[in-house]
Amino acid sequence: MNGQYNHIPHPRESSARSNVLYGTYFKIAETDFCNCLEVLAIDQSPLNEDERYKLEKEVNNFALKAIVFAAMSVESAINDYAGKHLGDKYYQQHLASLDLISKWIIIPRLVCERSIDKSGAAYNSLKTLVSARNKLVHNKSEEINFSDPYAVIKKQEKRSEEFKRDFHSSLKTLYLLSMEMDFVVGQMQNPLGTLDSAFNPSLEVPELAKELFKNCKDTVLKKYS
């Protein structure tokens, strides 16, 4: 992320692989993150109740997609990285059953004897994203206790705050993880692809994501300065 080439030796410098989707998932997460921010910025004061409800549904839909596709990108990327450098057969036999967080710790260490910092912002954001993804894909309903309306309201408020936090962790995780991996495995072998414009000249950060991008970049550069 500092424009300086970081070369970390890998078993394979290049490969040809099919069904590589982490970049597509990344872009969907980034787009829907920005779509959500755009809807949230709409002035709702002149809107009626139905219009406000529709906007709320839009916000939830965009936020949900941002979370799920960010997690899909993270998982697709580390699976591809493992298959490329350790072999698809080895990955399926020994690594496929690992949980997602463990994959991001163990696989780079197996490949190049390096790994992300478990005390760093990228790792902590990854944990939040994985937890958020799990809550969505393993959703469980529960009965409402109408005998205690106050408790129902408080629980809903807590869920709303958690969902808001989970949404903000979606694109943040992709940015932090990609930026840290430049220093861990090098720009050319970055599982998520480098976000360093010196090595990715086609990089375009959406206007609504630029502040988050800068904050993540500052965090990672401070860590590795």
pLDDT digits (tens, 9 = 90+) for 17-65: 999 999 999 999 999 999 999 999 999 999 999 999 999 999 999 999 9
Does the pLDDT at position 1 exceed 80?
Answer: no
Contact 152, 146 (CB under 8 A): yes
* Mean pLDDT of the region 142-155: 81
Q: What percent of the chain has pLDDT over 90?
A: 84
Question: Which residues in 205-219 are b (16+ Cβ under 10 Å) and which e?
Answer: bbebbeebbeebbeb
pLDDT score recorded for residue 157? 82
pLDDT score recorded for residue 155? 81
pLDDT score recorded for residue 153? 77
